[in-house]
Chain A
């Protein structure tokens, strides 16, 4: 299953970055019927973000997207394919909305590439999926602490790994894989429940 822009927009609205952020231009027609409609004053946290965000990916951001997609690919179940547009849409929203977060992504990728080079001799996104999993398994990624203002690796765990996990498991696609359409953290409406015995 491909994770689409539409899925990213849903995840974005969970993360409070609505379609009014830089990602609106990435939306295309596909997404208009989803999260954008549910957006209101409160979820549109990024109203201060530039609305004239570039529609094309600048070079350095393109490679950071490669890294994030490469990371999401190994974090997410094999059944789903975190396309660039999913990650890009989700993360662009945040990157444009929050300068501080953009900084965390940049330095996190540097840390990740450092670990990847030590382990397997290349940048993280250039490694095979198995190699990427090995990098994770042989370092403190995942197993180590996840701290927003901690050491380099702890910050990667918090700002990159956990952020991508939040994007997926707080969205309807991730939620449904574990049995809920409206996982906590996602604004999926408040009052519907099916009758018993369904």
Chain B
């Protein structure tokens, strides 16, 4: 289909809303098996050629992260009403590839215990599936996207086969961390990264060092790759098609059409046999709420009353240190992350886990780049060089994502007091801190601080988001990176939105794909799990069709 023809596809089997990671592999998998798939994506297809210009926005000190991929404005309006305001337009992208255009591409799996929190640890609740159920889909997702990872990393859950590519070589700062960690019995290991080191059919990493938020070379996996593959298998992509609501038939058993608007102001109706809502964890609940009807007055797929609830994040924390008189960036290194520490994913006391699991990733590019520093200064010439030199080069940094428990009162709702550019009420994010996650942040920041001190360094920042000062933090330190929950999975239709195949309990031809279906958060970056779950759902849809 041409980029300008925005009319509905004729009689497709499957209509997928959204073109991010939760959609792309699933759409490709179904198209490959001969099903007619149409993808409706709210944003545009970004030009690969423009990525350099977007990268320069990232490096420019005066441009906000939401400007990189043109987020913001009335289309993307939202409100926050909890104790923590989240900058969600700095944490999502609307376009083919979705937020993976912006992501860091760190792709660990969840752990076995993450699926069994209630039976193992007496907290939260179990998923209706186990790690073993998902294991083959994890392997498939890793093969599809191309992951460079360690086969022998300590702590990681069991693997059935090797990673598709050898792990990334350690950076100079990784080596500094590893040596100091050894002295403290803290193990530093490679992290699985969706970055092409040469074996995959996309460009190789070229070392721009800007993976998060733009990879100009295309070496980092982004979900537009599988959208393109799906199109090659016959799928239809309609961009700038903003789905307004899903309508069902008279009996309320099945969805019949997705109603979408295009930039010319036209309203279109896409019919299909099966619908998959994969609009991201912020937008999917809103779409279901906006689709309320006489039969479903509280929103579609919400007879449990849990839609939007049990929303979670991975409250981030970070540590920045300085090694006086030592250059820490002496390498020619590209990927933003290559190593991490999963030693504190395990609980200190499994019988009484008082804190969240911690997933620590060491960053190879700490603090602003030389160009960012230079632009931000006011001086010129030698004085400028001196101040850039003074600020750059001796820093070390680790970031971490931390497990957060699901709570009913943390939720996505719609806020009727404000509307978006289509006149629809905007999503509201209501999220408040918890001690469980806070204690995880403390454990992680203490561990990294110890390592930096072991090197002879000075810790200049060690904090997490879950403090009263949250709203004073710099934008980059705030939460919202990994939205999870809000349409959780379960066997019991009275307590969950979707079943283990991501099929909604209420409507047999409606599925939800994305982080929203997570029952608990674990601490691992979530997207590999999102993709694995989507492949499991694709198997089920394939059987149904």
Point out residues on A near B: beta carbons under 8 Å: 14-17, 38, 40-43, 45, 47, 74-79, 133, 136, 142-143, 145-148, 158, 162, 165-166, 168-170, 174-175, 177-196, 198
With A147-B62, A162-B375 in contact, do A192 and B392 touch (Cβ < 8 Å)? no
Closest to A191 in B: B169
- Known contacts A170-B369, A170-B371; 9 additional CB pairs below 8 A are A15-B52, A75-B381, A162-B375, A166-B56, A177-B389, A178-B389, A185-B209, A191-B334, A196-B176
**Is the contact region of chain A dominated by helix, strand, or loop, or is it mixed?**
loop
Give the interface size bracket for B toward A: 35 or more
- Asked if B381 contacts A74 (CB within 8 A), the reply is yes
Question: Cα distance A162–B175 when bound, in Å?
Answer: 34
Question: Cα distance A98–B526 when bound, in Å?
Answer: 39
Distance from B175 Cβ to chain A, minimum over Cβ atoms (Å): 5
Distance from A124 Cβ to chain B, minimum over Cβ atoms (Å): 13
Cβ–Cβ < 8 Å partners of A79 in chain B: 382
With A42-B216, A189-B206, A193-B169 in contact, do A184 and B59 touch (Cβ < 8 Å)? yes
- Asked if A177 contacts B333 (CB within 8 A), the reply is no
- Asked if A182 contacts B176 (CB within 8 A), the reply is no
Cβ–Cβ < 8 Å partners of A191 in chain B: 168-169, 197, 205, 207, 332-334
A-contact 0/1 string along B48-62, CB 8 Å cutoff: 111111011001111
- Asked if B370 contacts A193 (CB within 8 A), the reply is no
Closest to B375 in A: A162
The 8 closest A-B pairs by CB, nearest first: A16-B52, A190-B334, A193-B331, A184-B369, A187-B206, A179-B393, A190-B207, A184-B209
Q: List 17 A-B contacts (CB under 8 A).
A: A42-B203, A75-B381, A77-B381, A133-B381, A142-B377, A148-B63, A166-B59, A166-B371, A169-B369, A170-B371, A184-B59, A184-B370, A189-B332, A190-B168, A192-B169, A192-B331, A193-B171
Point out residues on B near A: beta carbons under 8 Å: 48-53, 55-56, 59-63, 168-172, 174-176, 179, 195, 197, 203-210, 216-219, 327, 329-335, 365, 369-375, 377-382, 384-385, 388-389, 392-393
State which of A41, A142, A148, A170 has its C-beta within 8 Å of the C-beta of B370.
Answer: A170
- Asked if A136 contacts B380 (CB within 8 A), the reply is yes
Cβ–Cβ < 8 Å partners of B388 in chain A: 169, 178
Cβ–Cβ < 8 Å partners of A184 in chain B: 59, 208-210, 365, 369-372
- Asked if B385 contacts A177 (CB within 8 A), the reply is yes
- Asked if B333 contacts A192 (CB within 8 A), the reply is yes
Cβ–Cβ < 8 Å partners of A175 in chain B: 370
- Asked if A190 contacts B335 (CB within 8 A), the reply is yes
Question: Cα distance A63–B515 when bound, in Å?
Answer: 56
Cβ–Cβ < 8 Å partners of A166 in chain B: 56, 59, 371, 375
Question: Cα distance A158–B334 when bound, in Å?
Answer: 26
- Asked if A180 contacts B53 (CB within 8 A), the reply is no
State which of A75, A146, A179 has its C-beta within 8 Å of the C-beta of B384.
Answer: A75
Cβ–Cβ < 8 Å partners of A189 in chain B: 206-207, 332, 334
Distance from B190 Cβ to chain A, minimum over Cβ atoms (Å): 12
- Asked if A192 contacts B332 (CB within 8 A), the reply is yes
Cβ–Cβ < 8 Å partners of B52 in chain A: 15-17, 43, 45
Question: Cα distance A195–B175 when bound, in Å?
Answer: 8
- Asked if A41 contacts B385 (CB within 8 A), the reply is no
